[in-house]
Amino acid sequence: MDLYLYNRLLNVMKTSRVVKYTVGFVFSILLTVDAYFLVTHQILTGGLLIAALLTLAIIQLSVQLIFFLHILEEKPRWNLLILLSTISLIFIVVGGTLWIMYNLNYHLHLPTVKTIIQNEGLTP
């Protein structure tokens, strides 16, 4: 991010809350649409797509922290608490999602046709 844009963002942060929330909302929508178009239009593939999506996710996280959770305000203890809460929630959601997907894959794994034929005693 260049210095000029950073200074403009700091000036926006000094204005009213409605402007802050609107700018944060617009940035969030733009980042979400960018990620959507990267995937649906197959602009990037493979590892490059994953790297781009992770980069957009980190930028999206910083936008959320700055504009909606006010991480840059002058309350360092609360900023640390908010940051730790956000990180723990991310780990809980991602870890829970992976755990559920693993369990669904394990419990709903359908046997192959060969196994079904052997179990039915249809093999010669």
Domain assignments of the chain as residue spans, ordered by start: 1-73, 76-124
pTM reported for the whole predicted model: 0.58
The whole-number pLDDT of residue 23 equals: 86
The whole-number pLDDT of residue 66 equals: 82
The whole-number pLDDT of residue 87 equals: 87
| Helices and strands (H and E) in the chain: how many | 5, 0
| pLDDT single digits (tens) 25-58 | 999 999 999 999 999 998 888 889 999 999 999 9
| pLDDT single digits (tens) 60-103 | 988 888 888 777 777 777 777 877 888 899 899 999 998 988 88
> Residue 83: which residues within 8 A CB-CB, separation 6 or more?
65, 71
